[in-house]
Amino acid sequence: MNRRTLRPFQRRSGVSLGLALALALAVTLWMLSGSFVGSGEGEQEPEDPARSAARLRVQVTDSLAQRVTNEVVVQGQLEPWRRLTLRAQVEGKVTALPVEKGAWVEADTLLVELAEDDRPAQLARAQADVAARELELSAAETLGQRGMQAQTQIKTAQAELARAQAEATRLRLEMEWLAIRAPFAGVIDGRDVELGSFLQRADAIVELVDDSRLKATAQVPQQRAGALAIGQPVAVELLDGTLAQGRLIYISRVADAKTRGFRIEAEVPNAERRLASGVSAELRIHTGEVDGHFLSPAALTLNDKGEIGVRTLDAENRVQFVRVDLLRTQSDGLWVSGLPASARIITRGQGFVSEGEQVEPVPQEDGV
């Protein structure tokens, strides 16, 4: 190949090499520029997972306060107005039982009679002894006025008379105690003796129960006792549905050592004696009126302090805990106080959220 032949080729090769270099430089610059673009304004920041996560859905209901009767409701029992076990005051054999067990008796009715034995003779002798001692004392005092009797002899006569009088009084009382009578009107609920039984002092004879009135008794928790006052009306309901009305007559001033509750008693009329004593009863004590909300028991929950309350939502759908007080219960729900006049109450899902958490509310009728 000669020089003439090489020159055109060299000229063409120089052009191609320059073009290749220019293209390589352009590609390099494009690649470099691409790396900067990726980190510049054109790149989107990854979304915060906490912000993108779906909020927990809870079921809520809108509740408005209503004026309701405030009551203290406790479980108790009916007790007889008076109950007494009569006991023998003297020894003796039972000679008469004029009243049968279960009978209603008026006050002073003879219930049991004991044998007199020789007590009338003993009483007669004691009375004669009293008369003799009175004569002796009179004679001693007369002689003492004349200076013919020492004062010690007069004192001795006075002492003997007092002894004789005491013995006569004791025997008279024993004669009276032979007849056991009812101290008040009531029913003979039990009898521990029969004709011919021999009684010692303090032996039980009969049990007398006055159920013309009854006492409804119960223990009231210390947190509710402050709302009670003497004279408040009390509604009493027995297990069989029987209803009765009474009034509060007693509130203990000292809490029970075991339950920390306060004993209360309500007087319940029972003139027809249709109510039996000793049975369980529910006492509802009216203490006034208050604004309350009607809820399902399932809406109640506990906070970290163990307080009873409900979880509600504020305007930003954040969870709040509101402590409530139980007013009264019904078969289909319960009434509570402590909530504002209007409240959005979480009825389902309250156990899975915490105070301050933002949630998505779902109306109760739509379900969760």
Query: What six digits make up the tokens of 112?
Result: 């049991």
pLDDT of residue 149: 65
| Confidence at residue 69, expressed as pLDDT on a 0 to 100 scale | 84
Task: Indicate if the pLDDT at residue 224 is higher than 60.
Answer: yes
Whether 300 is covered by a domain: the verdict is yes
pLDDT of 18 over the 80 cut: no
Picking from 172, 161, 91, the residue whose alpha carbon sits closest to that of residue 124 is 172
| Per-residue confidence (pLDDT) for residue 89, from 0 to 100 | 95
Q: Residue 308 is part of a domain; what is its CATH number?
A: 2.40.420.20
Whether 338 shows a pLDDT value over 60: the answer reads yes
Q: Which of 135, 161, 177 is the last residue of a domain?
A: 177
Banded pLDDT at 231 (limits 50, 70, 90): very high
* Residues 215, 283 within the same domain: yes
State pLDDT tens for residues 138-147. Answer: 888 888 777 6
Gap between the terminal Cα atoms of the chain: 92
Q: Is-contact 261 222, C-beta < 8 A?
A: yes
Residue with tokens 């013309």: 212
Q: Is residue 215 predicted with pLDDT exceeding 50?
A: yes
Structural domain includes residue 198: no
pLDDT over 70 at 41, yes or no: no
pLDDT at position 36 over 80: no
Q: Are residues 76 and 223 in the same domain?
A: yes
Q: Is residue 217 located within the same domain as residue 283?
A: yes
Q: Give the model's pLDDT for residue 2.
A: 42
Cα(365)–Cα(154) distance, integer angstroms: 104
Confidence of residue 84 (pLDDT cuts 50, 70, 90): very high
Of 233, 215, 232, 217, give the one whose Cα is nearest residue 270. 215
Write down the pLDDT at residue 203: 96
Residue 140: what pLDDT?
83
Break the chain down into helix, strand, coil percent, rounded to 5.
30, 40, 30
What pTM was computed for the model? 0.61
Q: Please list the residues that pair with 292 across neighbouring strands.
A: 66
Residue 22 reports pLDDT greater than 50: no
Distance of CA 363 to the CA centre of its chain: 36
For residue 163, what are the domain limits? 116-177
Q: What is the pLDDT of residue 136?
A: 86
In tens, the pLDDT along 126-175 reads 999 999 999 988 888 888 777 666 778 888 888 999 999 999 999 999 99
* pLDDT of the residue at 146: 72
- The rounded distance, in Å, linking the Cα atoms of 95 and 112 is 8
> What distance in Å separates the CA atoms of residue 308 and residue 304, rounded to the nearest whole number?
10
pLDDT digits (tens, 9 = 90+) for 243-285: 999 999 999 999 999 989 999 999 999 998 999 999 999 999 9
Task: Provide, rounded to the nearest whole percent, the portion of the chain with pLDDT above 90.
Answer: 67
How confident is residue 300, by pLDDT bands cut at 50, 70 and 90? Answer: very high
Q: Please tell me whether residues 226 and 272 are part of one structural domain.
A: yes
Same domain as 138, residue 155:
yes
Task: Tell which wins on pLDDT, 330 or 284.
Answer: 284
User: Residue 242 falls within a domain, yes or no?
Assistant: yes
**Per-residue pLDDT band at 25 (split at 50, 70, 90):** very low
Say if residues 92 and 178 touch (Cβ distance below 8 Å): yes
270, 290, 310: which is the final residue of a domain?
A: 290
Determine the Cα–Cα distance for residues 202 and 209; give it in Å rounded to an integer. 19
Contact between 190 and 234 (Cβ < 8 Å): no
Of 259, 290, 321, which one is at a domain's C-terminal end? Answer: 290
In a domain, 106, yes or no: no
The domain total for the chain is: 3
Which runs of consecutive H residues, i.e. helices, occur in 94-233?
Answer: 119-145, 151-177, 222-225
* Domain CATH for 276: 2.40.30.170
Per-residue confidence band for 71, with pLDDT thresholds at 50, 70 and 90: confident
What are the tens digits of pLDDT across the range 182-205? Answer: 999 999 999 999 999 999 999 999
How many degrees, rounded to 5, is the angle at CA 344 between CA 343 and CA 345?
100
The reply to whether 248 and 228 lie within a common domain is: yes
Tokens standing for 200? 């010692």
Cα(237)–Cα(281) distance, integer angstroms:
6
Q: Is the pLDDT of residue 70 over 90?
A: no
Cα separation, 319 vs 21, in Å, equals 68
Mean model confidence pLDDT for the chain: 85
Amino acid at site 287 = T
152 and 300 in a common domain: no
Residue 185 lies in a domain: no
Residues 131-136: contacts with CB within 8 Å, 24+ apart? 132/164, 133/157, 133/160, 133/161, 133/163, 133/164, 133/165, 134/161, 136/160, 136/161
Same domain flag for 219 and 248: yes
The tokens 């008040």 sit on which residue? 184
Sequence letter at residue 91 = E
* 318 is a domain residue: yes
CA separation (Å) from 14 to 10, 20, 21, 27, 30? Answer: 6, 10, 11, 20, 25
Residue 308 lies in a domain: yes
In a domain, 273, yes or no: yes
